[in-house]
Structure 1
Amino acid sequence: MSVSQSHEASRAAERQPQVWGRVPQRNKNFTGREELLEKLHAGVTSKVTAVVPHALHGFGGVGKTHVAIEYAYRYRHEYDVVWWIPADQPMLVGSALAGLAPRLGLSSSVAGIEDTVEAVLDALRRGEPYSRWLLVFDNAENPEEINEVVPRGPGHVLITSRNQAWQGVVDTLSVDVFDRAESVEFLKRRVPRGITDEDADRLADHLGDLPLALEQAGALQAETGMSVEDYLRLLEDHTAQLLDANKAPDYPLSMTAAWSLSVSQLETKLPEAVELLRCCAFFGPEPIPRDVFGAMSEELMARSRLSGLLASPILLSKAIKELGRYALALIDSESRTIQVHRLVQALLRNEVPPEECKAFQNEVHLLLAAAAPGMPDATSRWPRYAELLPHVTPARLKLSRDPLVRKFAIDMVRYLFSSGDYETARELAGELIDEWRTSTGDDDPDVLSAQGHLGIVLRELGDHQAAFELNRATLARMREVLGTDHEETLRVTNIHGADFRTLGDFTTALEHDQESLRLHREVFGNDHVQTLRAVNNLAVDYMLVGDYARAFEFQQEAYIQHRRNPGSGRQEVLIAWNGLARIVRLRGDYFEACDVGEEAYEYGVQWLGPDHPWTLRTAKDLSIAKRRAGLIDEAFDLAQLTLEREERLFGRGHPDTLAAALCLANVLRTRGEVAEALELLRDTADRYPEVFPDDHPFKYGCDMNLALLLRVSGDVEGARRLDRKSLDGLDDRLGRSHHYSLTCAINLANDLAALGDSDAARRLGEDTLARLRLLLGENHPLTLAAGSNLIVDLRAAGAEEEADTLAADTFNRYREVLGDDHPDVRVAVQGERLDFDFDPPAL
């Protein structure tokens, strides 16, 4: 190699990744494994297998994770992104992947989990903005649980696992114990005061060359200065005890004995440190936030078995450091975390008597609950909940009957829901309900509260019927058990109103929510957050029944009060803000709706992330406003982006995806791309009955849009039949004097005119115009469109004078409302007919 080549190679080796995250500290005593690392590097970087993940397989304690860490550090100069993902719990995989999003320029750190994960995976697959990436999935036990979130793209994936099932899924390398030379080298490095080759060989032989056991032995000798002879004698004593007690049969005896000896020695030196270690064994295997051990109140401290240790910051710090010195825990000062190897955790739990296990478990439950920041709906609190999430399932939080702990468990469901991780929220809520029902009965207040949270999660996942039935049953039991004016009862009361809306019963929803608001104001007052949620829901009800004046009144109140109320979360602010933009549009103020909607959308992107469900709903409504205002290209770009994100996050059959598809089909038609619009809308119409009942107003609205495209495509009779059916359905559900029904009537009149039945078109047009003037006023764009179409019918019937009079009034109003350059105004003035379409609002 030339001097120039050597210099370039040196510079390359010094290169750092643009993104480096969550990778554990490098083991300064890492030894050997050279052949394994070289083989792994050759396989990972092979052009043939570049998109195939690689797995390091081996039993506990052989050092799979340390090999992966060393690989990440040793070859980091070859990557732009290196990201570490704890994978033993599916919910951790999503959180870790979502944490990568802002580093890829995709969203803020508070974006929802499920949506952000998909955005990250899409960026990795496309190699944008980085194509050279390395993702490490550590301790991924079951391939089927994470295979969907392992990206296949231009980068590399490394998996560590004890499960041999990975051998049939990815390229796998076996990680075994050290060879003897590696064991000797490791011990000589680990024991700085010196150990002979002969003693190291004897020690390695007794410990079976198991890396984790060697680490424990080396740490103990380094800390105590114990001779190898003394260590081996004590090790033999502990081995005999373990064999007599038949302890830890699932783990290597050498590891069990080495661990037992280290704990025994530390207990002599500082028993409080061992008590802390035993407590750590009942957390999850992921890093434990250091602050968890400093958050207890005096009241909880009185119930804590670690009260003496927790009450003394100096003793606590000393105990933590001793755990690190004895290699019984990994102490990361940068992230302020404590991590105990899962094998050590298992051994510790195995040696604790059953009655003590429950006490330690309760201790962990209290520590987690005390560390929770409260207000799980607040975006500023989400990072802390994300740190505690990995310990919820391993700590078996669901077993607790403590009110404080159960509240924390429910708050964790609320956090998952608010951040957009609906599937994990559903899974956790279901586990809590199943366990709590068994232990404390169906009518336990915590069971009922968890059911209420599950109900809203089910609705957001699109399972409307299940949500309706669960919320109806829960509300009935809450009213009987807790009382009508209980806080939890009122919360579910408010939730249940939306269930009527999703089933298409808008009138019952209005009546339900009027009573709900009365109760909320009576119990909480006018300015409470829960009252403002009820105000917002009532605004939606009035919108759906077509009373836009009342809807605007309540929606504006909800928005203003949420902005002023420090207890309102940013999601609640966005919901009210978007609702205000929507009702402004429905009242006919298209340009003002664009202004309000732009601000709301920017707020959602900034504080919830571009892929949060409510940010996407705001984007969809903004696209509609832009289309109505004549900003067709801007509307198209936003509608297309929104549908892509909805499909990626929720699939094609979710209500939000269907709404986004209708929005895009409508703007495609407006752009003249009729074939593309028809193809998209046919697929959407086929899916609508899977989500909404056949007689739901939204189903009729979707069919109305399809009829419009059929007519534009030449199937006029097919359009007439479908519009007639849709109008009959809307009349039955909503009455003729409803915005949706009158929009459909305009289109049906156009069908009749296209078929040559101008008299029927005129009669229907005259009735529709009269109703719209009463409902929306003479200056509403829909009223003016109905008038424009009637002018065409009048001229076709030879009623020129009547047509001229209506034209003079209608066109002047049209110009004042929308301007001369608006597409609808130009079409109307040219004497052509106007069509209108349907866009479903969020319920």
Structure 2
Amino acid sequence: MSGPAGTTSIVFAAASRRLGRTAAVANTALIIAGRRLGVLIVDWSKDGPAAADYFERFGAGAPPDSRVLESLFEQLTPRRPRGWRFDRFQPPGDSGPIDVATPVSDGRTGQLPELPWEEPIDVVVDLVRRAVDGSGYRYVLVDTPTAPAAGLQEVIARTSDRTVVLSEASVAGKRAAAHLIRKIDDEALTDITVLPVISGMPPGEHGGGPAVGRVPVISDALGAPGGADDEQAILGVEGGAGPLRVPYDRDRAERHVLAVLADGPETPEVRAYVRLAELVTGGEVTAPPALSADARQNYRAALGLADTGSPREIAIVHAWQDRLWADWAGACVESGGAKAVLVDAEDPDAWAAAGPGGATGTPADDRVTVVMASENLFRTLPPEELPEHLDLVCRLPGTPEERVAGQPRVLSLDPGDPRRVTALERDLKARLDLLDRTAGPAPSPSPRPLVPRHPLMRPPRCRTNVMLFPHRVFAGRRDRLREMRDRLTARLQDPTPYVLSGPAGIGKTTLAQEYVRLFGADYDTVWWISARTPELTRLGLAELSRRLRVPPKGDAVAAVLAALAEQSRWLLVYDDVEDLSELDGLLPAEGAGHVIVTSRTVAPSSTALEALPTGVGVSMLRAQVPSLTAEQAEAIVAMLEGEPLALTLAGAWLRETTLRLRGRDREVADLADWASAEYQAKVAQRLDDDDGDVVAACLAVSLAEMDVQPLAPLAARVVELCSWLAPEGVGHRILASEPFREALAGSAGPEALRPLAADGMVLDQVLWLCARYGMAEVLAGGRLLRIHRRIQELVQEGLPAETRERRRRAVMLALARTVPAQVDGPIQQHDELFGELRRHLPRLEAGQETDPAVRHWIVEQARFGYVSGDRGRLEDSVAVIESVLAVWPGDHLTGRLWAQLANYLRDLGEATRALAAGDRAIGILTEAAADESLAGVGEHAILAARRGQAADRRRLGQFSQSLGQMQGIYERTRSRFGDGHRDTVLAALNLAEATHLNGGHQAALDIASEALEIQERRLGLDDWLTIRVAQRVAEYLVVLGEPGRAGLLLADQRERARLMPTPDPLAVLHLDHVQGILWRDHPGEPARRPGQGTGGAGQRTGLRGVQTKAAELLGPDHPYTLSAGFSLAIEAGLGDRPRKAVRLATACREGFQRRYGDGHPFVQLCLIGLSGFLLGDERTEEAVAHAQRAYDALVDLLGPGHPWTLAAGLQLSRALTASGDVDGALELDEDAVENALEYLGEEHPYLKVAEEAARCSRTALARGRPRRRPVLYVDVPCV
């Protein structure tokens, strides 16, 4: 497959990570370059490290023809103009240059450009091969993503001359590699060479490697238990040498060590890579590049390899407030090959760590000390106390030059221009005699370890949802912050959580917020996730998915976690986790970011917070009340045992009390003295009542004080009511609502509400009063009131049982009454209301409530959850809804909730359970509608439930029952609501689908076309329902043999879908599926109308992309995914790839069998396809058996005149012809012609196929040899 210019394509692949695949690519390229053969690395790996990382010290600019190369490769990623960068590297020694092609990530989303998977696979393959051949290099080495997806496997198989598949040494790893080898081999159209390579080698050993040749298909050998012989069997290696082994060392991989430069030519490691290069070049390269001993030693020294001694240690002394600057300087030092030791100047042992011996025993003569000079530092360490001859003084922005005038080596860290930061990094290294390892290209777009950025280089727009209370007092815990920062920044691409644990009120959340305040500028994304329940955690991750604009998929959580693995500079905070095990599957597994978790649960790996030291508590109180003496503050801290939440309440009480009493002819000091004594007395009395709980005692004192202040009683009642709501916060919209005011009146009394009625701003005063007393935080400019969960719990516990229940119900009813009695329009329009109510509902324990308003809220909340939820949440919600239905009475609200449950189950592909739930809904709603006092109630819900039930019957193969039911539903809906109503259009759409499945293709087209015309008149073109109806019209046009009309209609709808303001990924997927079938069956049809733009939903998406997206959106076993997979199987069968078609069709058949049973019509369609594909693979006997089985089943299920029965008969006749039974084939063909005329009409395309098949059979009988027969495959419809 080498190109005309002699280009050889070598692809490196692996089924799992951390095998040294990129190291193998880099070392192989280096050996090839040693022969001065042109070599290009195409770095398509999404894993770190990048190929360019191995050569970053040898940057030589760009290749001379880089613009030509970029234009050539940009054809591979048409959605992203300027999506490639080419860099040249010149390794040391007698080597030619190595060029690296790197796809450039999107600056906004961090996503890498993709191959145009929307195109047919043949087009993608041609584009890749043209780019490789047109590059002009002798060898092109392609580093692919780990575990390449099915589409990429096919591209590898059809574009590579040699493929290297790396494998783990374990039996499981070898089996995974063997599976990947078999997949690639199956996709190949011609013989290809696949070279299995074991990662990791015993010291002093390397494998000889197999003979270059085609790797046989692996079959029974997959069960081999291990050992040398079994290893060869598992991997399918021919010859006795065994598979090649190459080195892998994780530490070296993280440091991007090139073994060919670091190790001698006779070492096993280098010899293994040379053997690999020899195999992939067909013997053209047989030796490593020449390199002098000095050059090798310099390289080893630059990378700090073991035999060069310990790296230099550089102490960076800084003020705590300047930690960001010290982090950045430390990163520069580390990248230069030295070890950075950060020293806080306020640490008593700071100069001991920076002095002789340092932190690791560095000799005094080798000691290097850098000081980050700033006014913050000079408050602790005055300039005159600095040593006279520091190695370097870094003057931070805002620090006058004269403050460091006595120091001989000063470097200003203010670059002046952000574009000069890289030059500043080099200058810093040069001053410290460090190697410049930043020379060369810009950082790779792949996720990299989170390196602290220059503090003046803040992200232009940080994606964050964090709201910090501006008036919070934070004191102490610098050691914990330092530890948190050290541990997070020390990790590479490993987002292992830093867990803060401790009892409620100990300051876990506050500490995490302080970390965000101090170091948030180092991140491009900072996302706070309320994680006290798994549902809330999923909700927070789903919100992050929308903020990052992750393409909608079936499980938003899985999608965003996968996206984070490919992005860098993100921080996730999971706050208030009840049980750490509940985070399983909800944490990023990889990626260049950080995770902080707060939890009351103490785990072995967590950092447990304890009470504040006395000195810190004193500082905290005196920050609130400066007139307190140290002794007074110490007494209060001792009484409150250093509990941060208790100290917050105490400081607020003292501040408010002294402010209230000021001006009453008393000195400030006297006020503080009195307030301190008074507070201690009140708390001491409460401690006896609260069993020694200091937070409970302080809260009781504050609430008692509030009861005697103006507006304070109202504020106390707000705190009481909000204690039942989500601690994440209560929106101002709810607090200001009339139902909530009525709840306040019920608890505080009508008189207390008079100020609110007179002046709307009084509510804001009340909310801020809650904040002033330390019981709440007012955030987002007053739009959110947040109360600590511990305070909520204590408030509830402090109420008598009867009052507690009364308050809970009052709040529950208030929130229920904020839900409109009639939720108009699409429920997504009420996203703000239902989005917040979703957080409060579980706290109120409303599932057992009988009040109609609450139950109405639950029904509407279920509707909202259905239309806005991801697949994972749908599954969780089913169990919740079922538990509620178990206790609700049998009225119309219960019927509506049963109908919503049916919707959930239907969306999950559970048609049988959905049908049963629909039966319950219809029965209850019908009985409720019979009540004369509820005349008309539930009619719409009944029709909607029946419509859903008819859809379930279609999915279950009950086509005639569905059609009969839909005819009645359509007439009833039209008579009830008229032709133009949305529900009538939906009913018409469903009727068209049922008619189509029953074989009435033309009638289905007529019904759908009329519905489309009505819908366009009613709402115009820009509506998702219009697009869905148009998609069905196009689908029926394709079946009826009108590809031209279908193509134009689809092109218009896909462009409209692209311009829609809100996404509907399932509707787009349907469009793409029909379009893919159109292009498959009519390859001459244009992709779009002349002049139509490209981009977004308007892009072509091939059937491979449809199947992949369906699996992501709905799951691999969903009926829609199986349907898309079968369409792909037909594409493979028509493309003369029968083995692939058989494999895909078998998987689809088995999937439908598991879900619906052997007798379902969809299973028979799969058998029809399988029969044809088996004929292509010359398995005639099996083909006859499959076709006969499908034909017999469809005659019984659908009758002889159904189009699918005709298709089965034609396929059976085709198989019989191949088996030699032409008489039997002709009989079937003549029956097909007769049935097609009778049931389908003279214009149906199936009649033409049947007539052509009959002619072929007659010709075969007359001439004694078969004639090429027409092929008719039927796609499994998506219902």
Q: If the TM-score is normalised by the length of the shorter chain, which range does it land in?
A: 0.7 to 0.9
Q: What's the offset of the Cα at 1:288?
A: 1.5
Partner of 1:452: 899
Pairing of 1:730-769 with structure 2 (within 5 A): 730-769=1194-1233
Partner of 2:368: none
Q: CA RMSD in A?
A: 3.4
- Assess if the C-alpha contact under 8 Å between 1:517 and 1:531 holds in 2: yes
* TM-score normalized with structure 1 length: 0.86
Asked which structure has the greater RCO (Cα within 8 Å, sep 6+), the reply is 1
Partner of 1:237: 682
Partner of 2:849: 400
Please tell me whether residue 72 in structure 1 is matched to residue 516 in structure 2: yes
Letter in 2 for 1:243: D
Identify which of 710, 716, 734 aligns with 1:274.
716
Partner of 2:122: none
- Assess if the C-alpha contact under 8 Å between 1:663 and 1:839 holds in 2: yes
Q: Residues 245 and 656 from structure 1, CA distance in 2 versus in 1: closer, same or farther, beyond 3 angstroms? A: same
Q: Residues 582 and 420 from structure 1, CA distance in 2 versus in 1: closer, same or farther, beyond 3 angstroms? A: farther
- Assess if the C-alpha contact under 8 Å between 2:525 and 2:569 holds in 1: yes
Distance of 2:1108 and 2:1062 partners within structure 1 = 16
Partner of 1:155: 592
Q: What's the offset of the Cα at 1:422?
A: 4.9
Please tell me whether residue 52 in structure 1 is matched to residue 496 in structure 2: yes
Partner of 1:545: 998
- Assess if the C-alpha contact under 8 Å between 1:330 and 1:338 holds in 2: yes
Partner of 2:950: 497
Distance of 2:684 and 2:1051 partners within structure 1 = 70
- Assess if the C-alpha contact under 8 Å between 2:898 and 2:920 holds in 1: no
Pairing of 1:340-351 with structure 2 (within 5 A): 340-351=787-798
- Larger relative strand fraction: 2
Pairing of 1:440-519 with structure 2 (within 5 A): 440-441=888-889, 443-483=890-930, 486-487=938-939, 488-519=941-972
Q: What's the offset of the Cα at 1:411?
A: 1.0
Partner of 1:213: 646
Distance of 2:1107 and 2:677 partners within structure 1 = 66
* TM-score normalized with structure 2 length: 0.58
Match of 1:313, SS state, is: coil
Partner of 1:180: 614
Distance of 1:643 and 1:81 partners within structure 2 = 31
Q: What's the offset of the Cα at 1:508?
A: 0.7
Match of 1:133, SS state, is: strand
Distance of 1:749 and 1:283 partners within structure 2 = 69
Identify which of 502, 506, 515 aligns with 1:62.
506
Letter in 1 for 2:979: N
Please tell me whether residue 202 in structure 1 is matched to residue 627 in structure 2: no
Letter in 1 for 2:580: P
Q: Percent identity, please.
A: 24
Match of 1:148, SS state, is: coil
Q: Residues 673 and 533 from structure 1, CA distance in 2 versus in 1: closer, same or farther, beyond 3 angstroms? A: same
Q: Residues 722 and 25 from structure 1, CA distance in 2 versus in 1: closer, same or farther, beyond 3 angstroms? A: same
Distance of 2:469 and 2:747 partners within structure 1 = 34
- Assess if the C-alpha contact under 8 Å between 1:239 and 1:253 holds in 2: no
Q: What's the offset of the Cα at 1:773?
A: 4.9
Partner of 1:6: 413
Please tell me whether residue 628 in structure 1 is matched to residue 1061 in structure 2: no
- Assess if the C-alpha contact under 8 Å between 1:68 and 1:136 holds in 2: yes
- Assess if the C-alpha contact under 8 Å between 1:365 and 1:397 holds in 2: yes
- Assess if the C-alpha contact under 8 Å between 1:143 and 1:165 holds in 2: no
Q: Which moved more, 1:213-222 or 1:517-526?
A: 517-526
Identify which of 726, 747, 759 aligns with 1:284.
726
- Assess if the C-alpha contact under 8 Å between 2:1233 and 2:1250 holds in 1: yes
Partner of 1:694: 1158
Partner of 1:812: none
Distance of 2:986 and 2:778 partners within structure 1 = 44
Match of 2:467, SS state, is: coil
Q: Residues 797 and 146 from structure 1, CA distance in 2 versus in 1: closer, same or farther, beyond 3 angstroms? A: same
- Assess if the C-alpha contact under 8 Å between 1:503 and 1:693 holds in 2: no
Count of matched residue pairs: 797
Q: What's the offset of the Cα at 1:150?
A: 1.1
Q: What's the offset of the Cα at 1:335?
A: 7.6
Q: Residues 219 and 244 from structure 1, CA distance in 2 versus in 1: closer, same or farther, beyond 3 angstroms? A: closer
Q: Which moved more, 1:634-643 or 1:193-202?
A: 634-643
Distance of 2:1020 and 2:903 partners within structure 1 = 21
Letter in 2 for 1:709: F
Partner of 1:818: none
Distance of 2:989 and 2:810 partners within structure 1 = 41
Q: Residues 149 and 640 from structure 1, CA distance in 2 versus in 1: closer, same or farther, beyond 3 angstroms? A: farther
Q: What's the offset of the Cα at 1:231?
A: 4.2
Q: What's the offset of the Cα at 1:760?
A: 2.5
Letter in 1 for 2:896: S
Q: What's the offset of the Cα at 1:242?
A: 5.3
Partner of 1:22: 465
Letter in 1 for 2:586: V
> In the TM superposition, what whole-angstrom CA distance separates every residue of 1:479-514 from its partner, at most 9, and x where no partner exists?
234339632333322222122212211101111122
- Assess if the C-alpha contact under 8 Å between 1:529 and 1:568 holds in 2: no
Q: What's the offset of the Cα at 1:676?
A: 3.1
- Assess if the C-alpha contact under 8 Å between 2:493 and 2:590 holds in 1: no
> In the TM superposition, what whole-angstrom CA distance separates every residue of 1:109-131 from its partner, at most 9, and x where no partner exists?
xx68x533332222112x1xx32
Q: What's the offset of the Cα at 1:724?
A: 0.9
- Assess if the C-alpha contact under 8 Å between 1:704 and 1:837 holds in 2: yes
Q: Residues 333 and 545 from structure 1, CA distance in 2 versus in 1: closer, same or farther, beyond 3 angstroms? A: same
Letter in 2 for 1:12: H
Distance of 2:1083 and 2:1239 partners within structure 1 = 24
Letter in 1 for 2:1074: D
- Larger relative helix fraction: 1
Q: Which moved more, 1:83-92 or 1:523-532?
A: 523-532
- Assess if the C-alpha contact under 8 Å between 1:375 and 1:381 holds in 2: no
Match of 1:160, SS state, is: strand
Distance of 1:580 and 1:239 partners within structure 2 = 78
Q: Residues 143 and 595 from structure 1, CA distance in 2 versus in 1: closer, same or farther, beyond 3 angstroms? A: farther
Q: What's the offset of the Cα at 1:554?
A: 2.7
Letter in 2 for 1:644: T
Identify which of 144, 152, 164 aligns with 2:601.
164
Distance of 1:352 and 1:96 partners within structure 2 = 32
Q: What's the offset of the Cα at 1:563?
A: 4.8
Distance of 2:656 and 2:503 partners within structure 1 = 28
Match of 1:797, SS state, is: helix
Letter in 2 for 1:261: V
Distance of 1:298 and 1:215 partners within structure 2 = 28
Q: Residues 758 and 609 from structure 1, CA distance in 2 versus in 1: closer, same or farther, beyond 3 angstroms? A: farther
- Assess if the C-alpha contact under 8 Å between 1:659 and 1:840 holds in 2: yes
Distance of 2:507 and 2:1021 partners within structure 1 = 48
Pairing of 1:672-751 with structure 2 (within 5 A): 672-751=1136-1215
Please tell me whether residue 264 in structure 1 is matched to residue 704 in structure 2: yes
Q: Which moved more, 1:639-648 or 1:267-276?
A: 639-648
Q: What's the offset of the Cα at 1:304?
A: 6.1
Partner of 1:317: 764
Structure 1 regions of 5+ residues with no counterpart?
247-251, 804-829
> In the TM superposition, what whole-angstrom CA distance separates every residue of 1:437-488 from its partner, at most 9, and x where no partner exists?
43x53x2322222112111211221222222222223323332343396323
- Assess if the C-alpha contact under 8 Å between 2:475 and 2:620 holds in 1: yes
Distance of 1:554 and 1:295 partners within structure 2 = 47
Structure 2 regions of 5+ residues with no counterpart?
1-391, 395-409, 415-420, 426-451, 659-670, 1088-1098
Identify which of 106, 110, 116 aligns with 2:556.
116
- Assess if the C-alpha contact under 8 Å between 2:735 and 2:741 holds in 1: no
- Assess if the C-alpha contact under 8 Å between 1:416 and 1:422 holds in 2: no
> In the TM superposition, what whole-angstrom CA distance separates every residue of 1:168-220 from its partner, at most 9, and x where no partner exists?
xxx422222222222222223233x4433222222211111111111122222
Q: Residues 608 and 384 from structure 1, CA distance in 2 versus in 1: closer, same or farther, beyond 3 angstroms? A: farther
Partner of 2:535: 91
Q: Residues 418 and 743 from structure 1, CA distance in 2 versus in 1: closer, same or farther, beyond 3 angstroms? A: same
Distance of 2:1101 and 2:678 partners within structure 1 = 75
Distance of 2:488 and 2:475 partners within structure 1 = 21
Match of 2:708, SS state, is: helix
Partner of 1:39: 483
Structure (1 or 2) with the larger CA radius of gyration: 2
Distance of 1:227 and 1:324 partners within structure 2 = 21
Pairing of 1:249-398 with structure 2 (within 5 A): 253-269=693-709, 270-296=712-738, 308=753, 311=757, 312-334=759-781, 336-372=783-819, 374-375=823-824, 377-398=826-847
